[in-house]
């Protein structure tokens, strides 16, 4: 079973946004934000540490026939992993690439929660609404 999100660590989030230094140079090389995020994930960062308050905000749809922006796919991968539907240890963390493995995991999540198992997650769709509800603070 996977843990729900922990508290926000703003220093980690700030660190993730800084470019990594290129090997052997003093100049900063542009970092691949998904790769940087995957490294933080492998070091135990929580969903909130990785994505802040934007963890449920997709810019565009994810799934077959959707835009599959890497940042959106990485968020969905991390959420599906936390729900036990996708094993990210097999890929070394979120990759940001949509593959048949992610589609199977998304369909399994949708089916388990009584949603239409279409393998698609739209920004304002039911799948994201259910995920948001699972992580909402309980009073």
* 31-54 pLDDT per residue, tens: 777 778 778 877 788 877 888 778
Q: Do the domain assignments include residue 128?
A: yes
Q: Do the domain assignments include residue 1?
A: no
pLDDT of the residue at 28: 53
Q: Do the domain assignments include residue 4?
A: no
Q: Do the domain assignments include residue 2?
A: no
Higher local confidence (pLDDT), 65 or 1:
65
Per-residue confidence band for 75, with pLDDT thresholds at 50, 70 and 90: very high
| Helix/strand/coil (H/E/C) assignment for every residue in 46-109 | CHHHHHHHHCCCCCCCEECCCCCCHHHHHHHHHHHHHCCCCCHHHCCCCCCCCCHHHHHHHHHH
Sign of CA dihedral 72, 136, 39, 33: positive
Per-residue confidence band for 10, with pLDDT thresholds at 50, 70 and 90: very low
Distance (Å) of CA 121 to CA 24, 36, 90, 132: 41, 24, 22, 12
Q: Do the domain assignments include residue 3?
A: no
Q: Tell me the mean pLDDT in the region 14-35.
A: 50
pTM, 2 dp: 0.73
Per-residue confidence band for 2, with pLDDT thresholds at 50, 70 and 90: very low
Q: Do the domain assignments include residue 93?
A: yes
Q: Do the domain assignments include residue 99?
A: yes
- Total of domains in the chain: 1
- Residue 44: domain span: 10-18+30-135
Per-residue confidence band for 139, with pLDDT thresholds at 50, 70 and 90: low
Determine the 3-state secondary structure of 62 from DSSP. strand
Dump pLDDT digits (tens) for 102-131.
999 999 999 999 999 999 999 999 999 999
């Amino acid at each position: 079973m996977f843990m729900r999100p922990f508290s926000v660590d703003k220093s980690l989030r700030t660190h993730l946004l800084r470019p990594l230094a290129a090997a052997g140079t003093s100049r900063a090389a542009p970092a691949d934000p998904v790769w940087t995020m995957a490294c933080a994930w492998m070091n135990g960062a929580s969903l909130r540490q990785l994505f802040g308050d934007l963890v449920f905000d997709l810019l565009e749809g994810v799934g077959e026939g959707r835009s599959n922006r890497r940042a959106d796919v990485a968020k969905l991968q991390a959420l599906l992993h936390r729900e036990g539907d996708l094993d990210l240890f097999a890929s070394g963390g979120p990759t940001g690439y949509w593959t048949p493995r992610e589609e199977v995991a998304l369909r399994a999540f949708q089916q388990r929660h009584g949603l239409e198992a279409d393998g698609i997650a739209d920004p304002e769709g039911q799948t994201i609404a259910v995920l948001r509800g699972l992580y909402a603070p309980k009073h």
